[in-house]
């Protein structure tokens, strides 16, 4: 029989084991075995005749037999590539990772690059791509994923595939019935696996730092709103935002939108949001994420009176409302980007963009007298910048109220998330810290970073 690359995946997390197996099998014609503990892994390695080519181990300090497991692999003297996902290995075995060329300490976010790189480099004679039209996914891997709206198949002993669940119909309870009957794997068509793998890999590092993270799949035909939704869920997860407070904010949002919907001019926009009209997807999701992030930042600053939260949500709903059906304008970060794209905009669009903070502030003041005081100020100043480089009043950001400063930073962050295909918080922090070095916005960037690191 033709030799295949053999991977051995060791992790306590069923989702980790099975999603890793799924991706490896999708990519290569290979053998993947798994183990849920160091002791079970030791037992497995001791009883097999041929060692795996690569071991992928999700390291947990102080786990039972962890040192023995690592030492056993060293003493076995087998030419196995041993990949350990960790920042550092505690105890004397940590030194192995510096002295053995086949021992690799790998940062979690670099895991896939390292696995694929080593495979191509070290197993050249035996590695082969998987070209089968179907790939399998273990039921335990499926538990970590939602939103697969594609057919799932069962493979009969004869090799024949039968459709077990038609697109999107496989909920956890239904799957459990088949698990109880001993079904372990379901099969998917390769084009479905292609987009799933891409998304799983992009979000894998979030999953590794938050075991309850659910991958939400978005098919190539997903709407803009679904794709924004997915990004919002990812960001809230990465920032470890408390779901109860998030719900509280969403309730405030609903109330504010109820009020705005009654307005003769602006009610139409809110109705469009509630009907999921794609023309206002960007606007709807921008106001949602703006409300969430600004209220979380305010809470962290201990500015969490009802009035402050109401003010932030009102401002989130109103600040760009005159651009609601013009996402190409709403995406523009500020006056310097506007100048860059100005020539491509119609006269009307140019005017609409330049006047939108004043127009929206005017609406906030005249139409919504019950909005908390100074909501209109927040709206008017939402594009101001340090050193007077913003617009429309060119007031120096240093002279703005702290709440306005918080709102401007929120805008900057939300626009980054909304505009990037695959937003990376690390990348955002790098850019924002460089841009807002030495000024009043920096403390809010540091607060966002604290959310991410849970400090």
- Binding interface with Fe ion (CB under 5 A): 320
Distance CA 53, CA 55 (A): 7
Would you say 323 and 353 are in contact if contact means Cβ atoms under 8 Å apart?
yes
Q: By C-beta, is 310 or 320 nearer to Fe ion?
A: 320
**Min. distance of Cβ 383 from Fe ion in angstroms?**
6
User: Would you list the DSSP string of 174-186?
Assistant: HHHHHHHTT--EE
Q: By C-beta, is 357 or 372 nearer to Fe ion?
A: 357
Q: For residue 188, list its beta bridge partners.
A: 135
**Min. distance of Cβ 287 from Fe ion in angstroms?**
11
Q: By C-beta, is 42 or 354 nearer to Fe ion?
A: 354
**Min. distance of Cβ 359 from Fe ion in angstroms?**
10
Q: By C-beta, is 23 or 266 nearer to Fe ion?
A: 266
**Min. distance of Cβ 415 from Fe ion in angstroms?**
9
Distance CA 379, CA 127 (A): 58
Residue 372 DSSP one-character state: P
Q: By C-beta, is 279 or 359 nearer to Fe ion?
A: 359
Q: By C-beta, is 36 or 359 nearer to Fe ion?
A: 359
- Minimal CB distance residue for Fe ion: 320
Q: By C-beta, is 216 or 316 nearer to Fe ion?
A: 316
**Min. distance of Cβ 354 from Fe ion in angstroms?**
11
Q: By C-beta, is 420 or 426 nearer to Fe ion?
A: 420
Would you say 123 and 53 are in contact if contact means Cβ atoms under 8 Å apart?
yes
Q: For residue 32, list its beta bridge partners.
A: 7
**Min. distance of Cβ 264 from Fe ion in angstroms?**
23
**Min. distance of Cβ 434 from Fe ion in angstroms?**
23
Q: By C-beta, is 361 or 432 nearer to Fe ion?
A: 361
Residues 6+ apart with CB under 8 A from 141: 14, 15, 17, 18, 19, 21, 22
Q: By C-beta, is 59 or 391 nearer to Fe ion?
A: 391
Residue 346, CA distances (Å) to 8, 133, 354, 387, 392 in order? 59, 48, 12, 29, 20
Q: By C-beta, is 38 or 320 nearer to Fe ion?
A: 320
Q: How many CA atoms lie within 13 A of 398 on its CB side?
A: 7
Residue 34 DSSP one-character state: E
Strands 134-138 and 145-146, bridge-based pairing:
unpaired
Would you say 300 and 445 are in contact if contact means Cβ atoms under 8 Å apart?
no
Would you say 298 and 406 are in contact if contact means Cβ atoms under 8 Å apart?
yes
**Min. distance of Cβ 241 from Fe ion in angstroms?**
23
User: Would you list the DSSP string of 313-350?
Assistant: HHHHHHTTGGGTT-HHHHT--SHHHHHHHGGGS-HHHH
E strand or H helix that includes residue 427: helix 425-435
Would you say 84 and 104 are in contact if contact means Cβ atoms under 8 Å apart?
yes
Residue 215, CA distances (Å) to 137, 197, 230, 244 in order? 14, 11, 9, 20
**Min. distance of Cβ 294 from Fe ion in angstroms?**
14
Residues 6+ apart with CB under 8 A from 428: 413, 416, 417
CA 10 centroid distance within chain: 25
**SS3 state of residue 201:** helix
**Min. distance of Cβ 331 from Fe ion in angstroms?**
10
> Cis omega (within 30 of 0) on the bond before 392?
yes
**Min. distance of Cβ 277 from Fe ion in angstroms?**
20
Distance CA 176, CA 139 (A): 9
Q: By C-beta, is 138 or 311 nearer to Fe ion?
A: 311
**Min. distance of Cβ 334 from Fe ion in angstroms?**
8
């Amino acid at each position: 029989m033709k030799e295949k690359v053999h991977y051995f995946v060791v992790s306590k997390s069923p989702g980790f084991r099975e999603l890793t197996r799924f991706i490896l099998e999708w990519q290569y014609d290979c053998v993947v075995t798994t183990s849920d503990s160091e002791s079970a892994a030791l037992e497995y390695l001791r009883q097999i005749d041929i060692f795996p080519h690569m071991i992928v181990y999700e390291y947990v300090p102080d786990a039972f037999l962890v040192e023995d497991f690592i030492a056993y692999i060293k003493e076995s003297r087998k030419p196995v590539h041993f990949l350990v996902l960790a920042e550092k290995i505690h105890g004397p075995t940590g030194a192995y990772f510096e002295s053995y060329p086949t021992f690799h300490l790998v940062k979690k976010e670099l895991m896939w690059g390292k696995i694929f790189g080593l495979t191509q480099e070290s197993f050249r004679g035996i590695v082969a791509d998987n070209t089968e039209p179907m790939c399998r996914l273990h039921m335990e891997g499926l538990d970590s994923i939602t939103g697969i709206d594609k057919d799932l198949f069962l493979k009969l002993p004869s090799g024949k595939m039968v459709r077990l669940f038609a697109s999107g119909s496989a909920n956890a309870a239904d799957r459990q019935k088949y698990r109880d009957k001993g079904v372990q794997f379901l099969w998917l068509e390769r084009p479905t696996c292609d987009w799933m793998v891409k998304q799983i890999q992009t979000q894998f590092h979030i999953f590794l730092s938050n075991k309850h993270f659910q991958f939400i799949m978005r098919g190539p035909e997903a709407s803009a709103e679904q794709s924004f939704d997915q990004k919002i869920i990812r960001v809230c997860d990465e920032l470890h935002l408390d779901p109860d407070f998030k719900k509280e904010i969403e309730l405030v949002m609903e109330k504010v939108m109820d009020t705005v919907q009654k307005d003769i001019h602006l009610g139409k926009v809110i109705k469009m949001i509630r009907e999921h009209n794609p023309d206002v997807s960007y606007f709807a999701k921008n106001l949602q994420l703006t409300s969430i992030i600004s209220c979380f930042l305010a809470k962290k600053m201990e500015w969490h009176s009802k009035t402050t939260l109401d003010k932030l949500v009102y401002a989130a709903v109103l600040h760009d409302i005159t651009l609601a059906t013009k996402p190409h304008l709403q995406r523009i970060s500020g006056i310097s980007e506007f100048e860059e794209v100005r020539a491509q905009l119609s006269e009307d669009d140019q005017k609409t963009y330049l006047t939108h903070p004043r127009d929206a502030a005017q609406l906030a003041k005249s139409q919504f007298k019950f909005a908390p005081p100074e909501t209109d100020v927040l709206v008017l100043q939402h594009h101001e910048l340090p050193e007077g480089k913003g617009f429309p009043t060119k007031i120096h950001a240093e002279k703005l109220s702290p709440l306005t400063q918080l709102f401007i930073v929120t805008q900057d962050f939300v626009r980054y998330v909304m505009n990037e295909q695959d937003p990376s918080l690390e990348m955002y922090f790098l850019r924002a810290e460089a841009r807002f070095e030495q000024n009043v916005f920096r403390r809010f960037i540091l607060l966002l970073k604290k959310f991410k690191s849970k400090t």
